[in-house]
C-alpha cells in the first residue's frame, strides 16, 4: 500500500508518519506507533483492553513464525466493515492510537 493511501486511511487522527521497517512500514501518530503495513495489509495496534473488540469484530491477530512456533504480536487486521465506512475506520484507528498511548515506551 502506498503512503498516500495509508495517510488517507488515518486521516481521522491527523497527519501520520510512515517509516519503512522490517520489509514493511510503521505508521506513527504524535511519535507513537499505532499500526504496521505488512505484505500490503494494515494491522492496527491493540492491547488487553482493545484486543477483545477486534476479535469480536472478526479481526485476526498477526503472528509470525518464531523458530517453529507462532509468536502473536499486538497488531490486528482491520474489521471488514471499516473499509466501506469512514466513520467506522476512524473508530478503529482511534482504538489503535489509544492502545499506543497505553503501551510502555
Q: Which three cell numbers stand for residue 1?
A: 500500500
Q: Are 6 and 16 in contact (CB under 8 A)?
A: yes
Task: Reply yes or no on whether the pLDDT at 102 is more than 90.
Answer: yes
Q: Is 43 helix (H, G, I), strand (E, B) or coil?
A: strand
Helix runs in the chain, H state only: 3-9, 51-56, 86-102
Burial profile 29-53: b = 16 or more Cβ within 10 angstroms, e = fewer: beebbbbbbbeeebbbbbeeebbee
Using pLDDT thresholds of 50, 70 and 90, give the confidence band for residue 28: very high
Using pLDDT thresholds of 50, 70 and 90, give the confidence band for residue 85: very high
Using pLDDT thresholds of 50, 70 and 90, give the confidence band for residue 71: very high
Given this model, what pLDDT does residue 105 score? 56
Amino acid at each position: 500500500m502506498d503512503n498516500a493511501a495509508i495517510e488517507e486511511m488515518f486521516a481521522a487522527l491527523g497527519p501520520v508518519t510512515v517509516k519503512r521497517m522490517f520489509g514493511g512500514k510503521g505508521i506513527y501518530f504524535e511519535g507513537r506507533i499505532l499500526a504496521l503495513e505488512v505484505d500490503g495489509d494494515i494491522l492496527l495496534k491493540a492491547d488487553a483492553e482493545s484486543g477483545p473488540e477486534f476479535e469480536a469484530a472478526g479481526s485476526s491477530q498477526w503472528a509470525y513464525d518464531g523458530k517453529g512456533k507462532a509468536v502473536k504480536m499486538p497488531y490486528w487486521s482491520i474489521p471488514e466493515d471499516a473499509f466501506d465506512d469512514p466513520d467506522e475506520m476512524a473508530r478503529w484507528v482511534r482504538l489503535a492510537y489509544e492502545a499506543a498511548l497505553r503501551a510502555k515506551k
